[in-house]
């Protein structure tokens, strides 16, 4: 299973899950921007970096997802972090978080960097020790679905989908959570098509509901409106943009008036 891409998408689309995972309020995600960062002039790549978007005392979070044994993980991670700090000279302090599938994968030696662990500057999370999926918050339970074996994944996924659909006042975006669950299942069961998985878990019926379709349309409409300023900057006319994005000319004109400087 391509766990790196799964986690990247999960943290990119629903960053509040990460902050729940490390024990912070999910609302903390509102002041962070997530990305994968390549450290210049090296072969280093940090799996994920949460950068504060405001001038606050909140730290930068460097995230490493480790699902294979790696004896050099700690020396590599610390090297990546300090090279990043040297190159970018951020004003914020930092924290490191390593996410393991289970403790047996953690074979790295911390003798040369144990101070980072004793001070909790760097923390380790073992997904299989988070507890029973039914007792976990929906976001964290979605992460744990990644490590479920095939024998239990189907039952767990059904329960998780039901919880997501029935949740009242859910802080996380329901549509994105259901799509992430579906994506995780596609990776876990490569012998099945996405259509078969949707049918097995009732996701195809869900996608026909008015609420789901409205959520999709709302997301698509938002993406179209956000694209207008970029197309205006490229020199396209209001009429060309409206036709290309299937928008009303009046909608594009309104955005153009808000975006373009006054003569």
Q: What's the pLDDT at 214?
A: 55
- Is a pLDDT exceeding 60 seen at residue 45? yes
DSSP 259: H
Output the six-digit token pair for 123. 């923390």
pLDDT digits (tens, 9 = 90+) for 55-74: 778 999 999 999 999 999 99
Q: What is the mean pLDDT of residues 207-232?
A: 66
The alpha-helical segments, DSSP class H, found in 14-149 are: 16-21, 73-88, 114-118, 138-145
Pairing of strands 45-52, 32-38: antiparallel
Q: What is the mean pLDDT of residues 5-20?
A: 87
Task: Please tell me the distance from the alpha carbon of residue 263 to that of residue 258, in angstroms, as a whole number.
Answer: 13
Task: Please tell me the distance from the alpha carbon of residue 141 to that of residue 163, in angstroms, as a whole number.
Answer: 10
Chain-centre distance for alpha carbon 165: 20
Highest mean pLDDT pick, 31-45, 87-101, 232-246: 87-101
Task: Give 244 or 98, the one with higher predicted confidence.
Answer: 98
Chain-centre distance for alpha carbon 91: 24
Task: Please tell me the distance from the alpha carbon of residue 100 to that of residue 211, in angstroms, as a whole number.
Answer: 36
Q: How confident is the model at residue 262 (pLDDT cuts 50, 70, 90)?
A: very low
How many CA atoms, within 13 angstroms, populate the side-chain half-sphere of residue 132?
A: 3
Q: What's the pLDDT at 99?
A: 95
- Beta strands per DSSP E along the chain: 32-38, 45-52, 60-66, 94-100, 122-126
Calculate the average pLDDT of the chain: 82
CB 161, CB 177: distance < 8 Å:
no
Percent of the chain at pLDDT above 70?
84
- Is a pLDDT exceeding 60 seen at residue 219? yes
Percent of the chain at pLDDT above 90?
33
Task: Please tell me the distance from the alpha carbon of residue 18 to that of residue 143, in angstroms, as a whole number.
Answer: 9
- Is a pLDDT exceeding 50 seen at residue 211? no
pLDDT digits (tens, 9 = 90+) for 69-81: 999 999 999 999 9
Q: What's the pLDDT at 40?
A: 61
């Amino acid at each position: 299973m391509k766990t790196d891409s799964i986690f990247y998408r999960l943290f990119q689309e629903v960053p509040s899950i990460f902050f729940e995972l490390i024990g912070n309020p999910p609302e903390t995600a509102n002041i962070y921007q997530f990305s994968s960062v390549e450290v210049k002039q090296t072969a280093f790549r940090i799996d994920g970096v949460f950068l504060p978007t405001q001038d606050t005392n909140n730290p930068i979070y460097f995230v490493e997802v480790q699902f294979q044994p790696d004896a050099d993980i700690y020396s590599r991670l610390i090297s990546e972090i300090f090279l990043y700090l040297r190159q970018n000279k951020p004003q914020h302090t930092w924290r490191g978080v390593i996410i393991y599938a289970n403790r047996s994968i953690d074979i790295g030696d911390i003798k040369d960097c144990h101070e980072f662990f004793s001070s909790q500057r760097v923390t380790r999370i073992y997904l299989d020790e988070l507890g029973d999926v039914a007792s976990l918050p929906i976001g964290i339970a979605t992460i744990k679905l990644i490590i479920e074996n095939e024998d239990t994944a189907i039952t767990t996924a059904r329960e998780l989908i039901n919880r997501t659909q029935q949740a009242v006042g859910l802080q996380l975006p329901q549509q994105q959570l259901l799509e992430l669950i579906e994506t995780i299942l596609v990776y876990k069961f490569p012998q099945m098509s996405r259509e078969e998985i949707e049918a097995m878990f009732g996701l195809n019926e869900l996608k026909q509901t008015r609420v789901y379709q409205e959520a999709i349309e709302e997301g698509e409409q938002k993406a179209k409106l956000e694209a207008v300023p970029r197309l205006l900057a490229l020199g396209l006319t209001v009429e060309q943009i409206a036709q290309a994005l299937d928008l009303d000319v009046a909608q594009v004109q309104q955005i153009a008036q808000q975006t373009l400087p006054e003569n």
